[in-house]
Amino acid sequence: MNYLLLKHLHLTCVILSGGGFFLRGLWMLRSSPYLRHPVTRIAPHIVDTVLLGSAILMSMQSQQYPFANDWLTAKLCGLLIYIACGTMALKRARSKRQRAGYFIAALLAFAYIVSVALSRHPLGFAHGFF
């Protein structure tokens, strides 16, 4: 598959995934019944699978890999933090206050991942300050 097409697919999935997570987080905070809708429960898995698949294919085509490229390693670490915080925010945390805290942490992790991707530096946009 063409690298440019993969990149556009990946960026589209980043927007859909991040926007969808933000919306589900707001619905969680408001105890919305939309969280139980089948589309809300299934679509994120489809989008995130395509997102991860496109990332792997782009990595293989460009021959840039985590643990060989520091910025990709940082993105991978940020992704693991985002997944952990996102799971706590939407499913596992016991109180709404805890969920809100994890939701904010997940959004910050997402912003960090995007920052690292755009700057191609492990510190993201903060690398200009150091």
Same domain, 98 and 42: no
Residue 40 in this model has a pLDDT that exceeds 80: yes
The domain containing residue 103 runs over which residues? 67-130
Residue 129 in this model has a pLDDT that exceeds 90: no
Mean pLDDT of the 108-129 span: 95
Q: What secondary structure does DSSP assign to 40-78, as a single string?
A: HHHHHHHHHHHHHHHHHHHHHHHT--BTTBHHHHHHHHH
pLDDT averaged over every residue in the chain: 97
Q: How far is CA 116 from CA 1, 63, 104, in A?
A: 25, 18, 18
Same domain, 73 and 45: no
Residue 39 in this model has a pLDDT that exceeds 90: yes
What integer pLDDT is reported at residue 130 of this predicted model? 75
Q: What angle do CA 112, 113, 119 make, to 5 degrees?
A: 85
**CB contact at 8 A, 90 and 41:** no
Domain count, the chain: 2
What integer pLDDT is reported at residue 128 of this predicted model? 82
Residue 83 in this model has a pLDDT that exceeds 90: yes
Same domain, 57 and 83: no
